[in-house]
Amino acid sequence: MVWIEDAANVSAGALDRQFARTPYAVSFLSSVQTFILVTLHVNYGKQAADRVPELKAIADWLAAWAEREFSWDQNLIALGDFNIDRQDDPLYQAFTSTGLTPAAPLVGLRRTIFDTPQAPHYYDQIAWFTGPREGALTLGRIDSGTFAWEEHLSPIGPGDPTFRVSDHFPIWLELGVARRA
């Protein structure tokens, strides 16, 4: 990943090694604790194996960021559509290879309108590094879940509602911030 501070000084080829879709990050400060949300969307591709290098590169990039000295490394949380087909497959292993830990309570919850108990998907994830290590999450998890929107909406017109809303369900995570003295 290339961080551009001065576009005039970017060398030829410097942008050749970008992710397929640009990650976005935002930091927040609450009760003197910083946390950073990094949202990503991995390309689905034609073959699942095509996603492994990008997932591994994302995991390496996030781990390097979390370990950098003098960076915003507290409570780094990755979230988004990682297009992981199932738990413990090569995609999942690439994503968790550097210590990213998906939110355990979200395992087994429906994430798309196509999920069934026999065929769940793990496309969408919320994950972080666990301690003890630099950048490990220090916020406490309070609750988490998913919202199966199709169970709560009236019909929204003719055609496939996934083109009007989404085929994914929102997943969410509530974290507790302890006040420091």
Q: Cα separation of 51 and 120, whole Å?
A: 19
Phi and psi angles of residue 117, each rounded to the nearest 5 degrees, phi first: -55, -30
pTM, two decimals, is 0.76
For 125-151, the pLDDT digits (tens) are 899 887 766 667 777 777 888 887 777
Give 3-state DSSP helix, strand, coil % of the chain, rounded to 5: 20, 25, 50
* pLDDT tops 80 at residue 169: yes
Q: How many helices (H) does the chain have, and how many strands (E)?
A: 2, 7
Q: Which domains does the chain have, with CATH numbers?
A: 18-176 (3.60.10.10)
